[in-house]
Amino acid sequence: MKKTVTILGIESSCDETGVALVRATRNGQAYAFEVLKNFVYTQIPTHRKHGGVVPEVAAREHAIRLPQLLDELAATPKAKASLKKSVDAIAVTYGPGLITSLLVGLEVGKTISAVWQKPFVPVNHLEGHIYANLLSNNAPRRTPNKNFVFPVLALIVSGAHTELVLMKKHLSYKLLGSTRDDAVGEAFDKTAKLLNLPYPGGPVLSKLAETGNARAIKFPRAMLDQDNLDFSFSGLKTAVAIHMQKHSSKPADVAASFEAAAVETLVEKTARAAARYKPHTALIAGGVAANIPLRKAFQRMMQKNFPEVTVLEPDLKFTTDNAAMIAAAGAVRFFNGYTKPWQKVEVDPRPRL
């Protein structure tokens, strides 16, 4: 049975404030999404002077920006009334993330849910990143091939997470492996700091790496000698620090060599997971999925070893934090009955997928 719903999404887990309106259609087990509105207010300029995200400042910014962004969705009383009419449910990130930042989005979402008397759908931020792979700038009918064919193998790479996950159906996750220490995004950010690069470290380091030689320095590829699907990135960051104390390599060479080591580890473990679990779809999700060398290496490895597997990657616009991905995952949850009275929803800074 085909059915269409409209979901209002809210995201405030870290340093991006987001609201979005997504129309989702279910056709059997397939979902198609149309992003009607997607507003992101990035707090990067605010946090840059501190060299990283200051949680208290982030929460205050969310509290100021979220009502403004919601107002942009519908400015006039008439527009608000029509928005209220069209929205079927409110989807909000409840975790993982910074606790006070999450609280702002959650309380705003709960208020709308209570006042409008609309169902509330709590969404795991990482689930949002996974479903971002099904979003496109265009109307769904123009991108019919973005779909999950199960099993789906997902490599999640963000500022706080590095995980390989297997989905046998929608909204179902089996953790295959994860980092034992730092997340890969954290390693990018910390290495960028060693190189005196401004926050946010990941994209700035990657830009610098474009002019460097990735073979200049042989940094360790941690845990590739181990027969598991886990990662470790704290040793890589330490190796960079030690190298910089002993040598005066060009910063661009350090950046490129670091990036090559991080990318190779991620892609190699994904290859092993794909060989073991034989997915029909493979995807990358999370902020670090914006990294171009990672995208290219992931695609190349999959095409070479598993040409029959469909490879997805999120549009760049939906790769870093945004509310459209929360609305999309929220829509799938809503279709499957996962609503929760707003009174019963609590922030969870470290939920499992």
Residues that bind Zn ion (CB under 5 A): 158, 321
C-alpha closest to that of 283 among 318, 331, 259: 318
Question: Considering the rule CB under 6 A, would residue 290 count as an interface residue with ligand KG4?
Answer: yes
Residue number with CB closer to ligand KG4 (32 or 40): 40
Look up residue 179 and give its DSSP letter. Answer: B
38 near ligand KG4, judged by CB under 6 A:
no
Among 189, 253, 264, 313, binds ligand KG4 (CB under 6 A): 189
Closer CB to ligand KG4, 179 or 206, in the complex = 206
List 101, 191, 206, 339, residue binding ligand KG4 (CB under 6 A): 206
Amino acid identity, position 299: Q
Q: Of 287, 295, 323, 328, which lies in the binding site for ligand KG4, with binding defined by CB under 6 A?
A: 287
Tokens 């990067």 label which residue?
44
The dihedral through the CA atoms of 132, 136, 140, 141 has a sign that is negative
Nearer to Zn ion, 235 or 349 (CB): 349
Position 18 contacts ligand KG4 (CB under 6 A):
no
Report DSSP letters for 315-327, one per residue: -GGGTSS-SHHHH
Question: Residue 128 interacts with ligand KG4 (CB under 6 A)?
Answer: no
Question: Least distance from C-beta 159 to Zn ion, angstroms?
Answer: 7
Q: Under DSSP, is residue 14 helix (H, G, I), strand (E, B) or coil?
A: coil
Using only the alpha carbons of the chain, give its radius of gyration. 20
Examine residue 212 and tell whether it contacts ligand KG4 (CB under 6 A): no
Touching ligand KG4, residues 135-174 (CB under 6 A): 158-160
Residue 229's binding partner, choosing from Zn ion, ligand KG4, none, with beta-carbon cut-off 5 to 8 A by kind? none
Beta bridge partner(s), residue 90: 8, 120
Candidate residues 119, 185, 212, 251; the one interacting with ligand KG4 per rule CB under 6 A: 185
- Smallest distance, ligand KG4 to C-beta of residue 89, A: 23
- Residue 189 site contact among Zn ion, ligand KG4, none (CB < 5 to 8 Å, cut-off depends on kind): ligand KG4
Please give the single-letter amino acid code of residue 294. Answer: L
* Contact range with ligand KG4 by CB under 6 A, out of 33-41, 65-73, 199-207, 345-353: 199-207
Alpha-carbon distance of 6 to 88, in angstroms, equals 5
| Contact partner at residue 288 from Zn ion, ligand KG4, none, CB < 5 to 8 Å by partner kind | ligand KG4
Beta-strand relationship, 120-124 and 89-95 = parallel
Round to whole Å and give the CA distance between 250 and 101: 38
Q: Does 291 bind ligand KG4 (CB under 6 A)?
A: yes
Q: Which stretch binds ligand KG4 (CB under 6 A): 107-115, 197-205, 301-309, 343-351?
A: 197-205
Under 8 Å between Cβ of 280 and 152? yes
Query: What are the structure tokens assigned to 28, written together?
Result: 């059997």
Is residue 215 helix, strand or coil? coil
By CB under 6 A, residue 8 contacts ligand KG4: no
Report, in Å, the least distance between residue 143 CB and ligand KG4: 22
Instruction: Classify residue 132 by its DSSP letter.
Output: G
Is 66 or 160 the residue whose CB approaches ligand KG4 more closely?
160
Q: Decide: is 14 part of the binding site for ligand KG4 (CB under 6 A).
A: yes
Of 291, 288, 197, 184, the C-alpha closest to 237 is 184
DSSP state of 318: G
Contacts of 8 (CB under 8 A, 6+ apart): 19, 20, 21, 73, 83, 87, 89, 90, 91, 112, 327
Q: Does 200 bind ligand KG4 (CB under 6 A)?
A: yes
Q: What helix, strand, coil percent values describe the chain, rounded to 5?
A: 45, 20, 35
Examine residue 202 and tell whether it contacts ligand KG4 (CB under 6 A): yes
Q: Which part of the chain contacts ligand KG4 (CB under 6 A), choosing from 46-54, 198-206, 210-218, 269-277?
A: 198-206
Residues that bind ligand KG4 (CB under 6 A): 14, 158-160, 185, 188-189, 200-203, 206, 286-288, 290-291, 320-321
